[in-house]
Structure 1
Amino acid sequence: MERTVEVDRGTYPDVVTPWEQEAWRGQVFDWVEGRLAHDGLRLSGAPQVRVRPWSVSMRIPVAGGAPVWFKANPPASAFEGPLTAALSRWVPEHVLRPLAVDAGRGWSLLPDGGPLFRDTRGDVPPRVWEELLTGYARMQRALVPRADELAGLGVPRLRVPEVLASFDRLRAGNGSLDPDQRARLDALRPRLADWCAELASLGVPDSLDHADLHEGQLFHPGPGSFTYFDWGDSVVSHPFASLRVPAQRACERYGPEVLPRLRDAYLEPWTDVGLSAAELRRAVRLAWRLGALGRARSWTRLFPSATPAAPTAVAGARSLLETGDTPPL
């Protein structure tokens, strides 16, 4: 039986996902309602569905309580459910604890995490961004011993010595790059090799890189409290690559003068790895470029068959070219 739902397709009205299949929708609702019943809950009202090329998610109203959230990942990010469940065991103070995960189908059912950080009312001082970055870095630091286990969950792994080969594959495989752009990347390659060699020599251990940490990817339920979610772009790699996205967002809000204090707040949990403050700051500058490369890898991994004119291929090319941008800190 078809349920009444509200469907938001954003700027992708023609995207084809499993949501278009009636049988798939029926399986989703059967699974969701079964998991809710297991916890003594029941659906109440019309779910709100968000269809995007990279996932199908659904806000599900629950009788007498806060809504819950369903998410279906494509195969390339199907690790998100098991990863979220593992993080809830390893660093429970920083993440959501799933109500249910179907690893085989890439499905997750999550509790409500409260207000998003981007919906915080009133003026948000830079100090709050410092707090969220310090908390995130503490989580990464705690996950360093789990790097192999993270990769074992299916999270892609990219060690710094492997970056140059990844760069070459991305350059060769992106058909939306024009000849001038390819020439720019060719000129960049020797410098990227030097940067990666220096970054590897500093010896910061691998950890989990969210790869897209912005205001819409974390909850802010109260002062000093942050919950990090939406792990589908994650990679096990140099942790400092994570700083690029949130630092850019904060820079847009406050101006570039905020960046040194955000950098230092992020680095505070890493002061025990045996590097001086100057060496840690140098590592941030070097890893900044890996943040752009990580975004390019995400676009390619999630949409490997995209045509050269597809928005996802264009976005991947743009991120790849941004690898050559001069870090602003």
Structure 2
Amino acid sequence: MNWSSEEWLAQAVSWLDEELMAAGIERVGEVTQPRLKPWGTVLRADTDSGTVWLKAPGPETVFEVPLYRLLASVAPKWVLDPIAVDVERGWVLLPDGGPTLRERLGGTAGLSDAMISVLPQYGQLQVELEPHAEDLLATGVTDMRPAAMPQRLDEALETTGRYTASSDSEVAKEQHAWVVGQRAEFAARCADLPDRVSLDHNDLHTNNILGGPTGQVRFYDWGDSVLAHPFTSMLVGLGSLARWLEVDPDDPQVRRPRDAYLEVFGDPAELLAELELACWIGKVARALVWDRALHQEPGEFAGAPLRTLASLRMNSWLAPD
């Protein structure tokens, strides 16, 4: 997709203006293209109602366009409400959501307390989405439910096998061989995971949270999301928190947000083992999401899917960056 071509840009700007007019909004500045990546692009425009953004994901993540429409219909409190959606062309026009949580905090001070407020809101969003599994699949979200995960591991191993075959790294070869040897154990542990199902954002960090640190927030950038056990979201949600704070996952600064999230679903003490197993299994989904993101341009992150799979060895919910 040549998102930088004059033809594509002219069509996108024309659609943007048509949809703004239909919504009673007037553009008051030039349209710019602040982000252009191999996996998608974003256009920005100022209007008399504030900044708007046209997002055009690539074919690997174009499901995000109909997903936004579904989320705005089912759980509007927690997401941006699109101004317009064109599923056929894979375009979504969004209002500006304001500063991210990372921008508001400006550092790690207060981050743990902020996540105590944020993660239960995310849990509530997941609860609202639980009855809509089939609708989520219909948008094109990948099925990463526990029963599907043994097959997903095989798919991930195909990817890491190609990487290993092209690599001179003995470490990579050993890591890949170790994961291959865990297929039966992995399938058995998938069967042990309770069959809760909801949307896993799969990249739940402070730059994808709009608002905060207290009060209502909204969740943004759903291009990595999958249908999975809801607790798998904490693989990134809690893992990134521990890394940002440079603390152990058992540190109170991580435990308190974790328990606040689990309280949405029940007694945290009774759910902790389920969360840890869900996150351990979710590493395979994360590896496949890495592969999806890197499909067009692996670059320096080419080894990320294998590193994520190899972190199954840790028997922990933590995964490497």
Shorter-normalised TM-score: what interval?
A: 0.7 to 0.9
Distance of 1:324 and 1:285 partners within structure 2: 14
Distance in 1 between residues matched to 2:72 and 2:175, nearest whole Å? 43
Aligned mates of 1:204, 1:113 — CA distance in 2? 33
The TM-score, its normalising length taken from structure 2, stands at 0.87
In the alignment, structure 1 residue 260 sits paired with structure 2 residue 255: yes
**Which of 308, 311, 315 pairs up with 1:322?**
311
1:131 aligns with 2:117: yes
Q: Larger relative contact order (C-alpha < 8 A, sep ≥ 6)?
A: 2
Amino acid at match of 1:53: P
Q: What is the CA distance between 1:196 and its match in structure 2?
A: 4.8
- Give the structure 2 partner of residue 211 of structure 1: 202
* Aligned position for 1:194: 185
1:205, distance to aligned residue in structure 2 (A): 1.2
Q: Equivalent residue for 1:33?
A: 17
Q: Which runs of 5+ in 1 are unaligned?
A: 1-16
Change (3 A) 1:310 1:46: same
For the pair 1:176 / 2:163, whether they are aligned, the reply is yes
Is 1:290 the counterpart of 2:285? The answer is no
Aligned 8 A contact 1:289 1:324 in 2: no
In the alignment, which of 73, 83, 91 is matched to residue 107 of structure 1? 91
Distance 2:303 2:180 in 1: 20
8 Å CA contact 2:144–2:285 kept in 1: the answer is: no
3-state DSSP class of the match of 2:263? helix
1:53 is matched with which residue?
A: 38
User: Over aligned residues, Cα RMSD in angstroms?
Assistant: 2.3
Secondary structure of the equivalent of 1:262?
Answer: helix
User: 1:266 & 1:248 partners in 2: Cα distance?
Assistant: 14
Return the offset for 1:265: 1.3
Shift of 1:48: 3.5
- Percent identity, aligned pairs only? 32
Q: Would you say the 8 A contact 1:171–1:182 is kept in 2?
A: no
Deviation at 1:182, TM superposition (A): 3.4
- Report the number of matched residues: 306
Of 128, 131, 135, the match for 1:149:
135
1:217-244 Cα shifts (integer Å, max 9, x gaps)? 1101673211001111111011111101
For residues 275 and 218 of structure 2, the distance between their equivalents in structure 1, rounded to whole angstroms, comes to 23
Residue 78 of structure 2: SS of its match in structure 1? coil
CA drift of 1:103 comes to: 0.6
Structure 1 residues 285 and 190: alpha-carbon distance in aligned structure 2, compared to 1, 3 A threshold: farther
Cα displacement (A) at 1:247: 1.1
C-alpha contact (below 8 Å) 2:82/2:94 kept by paired residues: yes
> Partner residue of 1:166?
152
Question: Structure 1's 144 and 215: CA in aligned 2 closer, same or farther, altered over 3 A?
Answer: same
CA distance in structure 1 between the aligned counterparts of 2:2 and 2:42, rounded to whole angstroms: 11
1:80: which partner in 2? 64
- Determine if contact 2:193/2:277 at 8 Å carries over to the other structure: no
In the alignment, is residue 66 of structure 1 matched against residue 50 of structure 2?
yes
| 8 Å contact kept, 2:127–2:198 | yes
- Which string of whole-angstrom CA distances, capped at 9 and with x for unpartnered residues, describes residues 73-100 of structure 1? 1112111111111111111111111000
**Equivalent AA in structure 2 for residue 238 of structure 1:** H
* Ranges of 4+ aligned residues in structure 1 off by more than 6 Å: none
Question: Over residues 124-181 of structure 1, what are the superposed CA-to-partner deviations in whole Å (9 max), with x where a residue is unaligned?
Answer: 2422101111110111112111111110111111221322222222222233334532
Q: 1:253 to 1:173 in 2, by over 3 A?
A: closer
Aligned residue number for residue 251 of structure 1: 242
1:314–1:202: structure 2 CA closer, same or farther, 3 Å change rule?
A: closer
Unmatched runs of 5 consecutive residues or more in structure 2: none
Give the match's secondary structure for 1:60: strand
Worse-matched range after superposition: 86-95 or 171-180: 171-180
The amino acid of 1:267's aligned partner reads L
Q: State the one-letter code of the partner of 1:322.
A: S
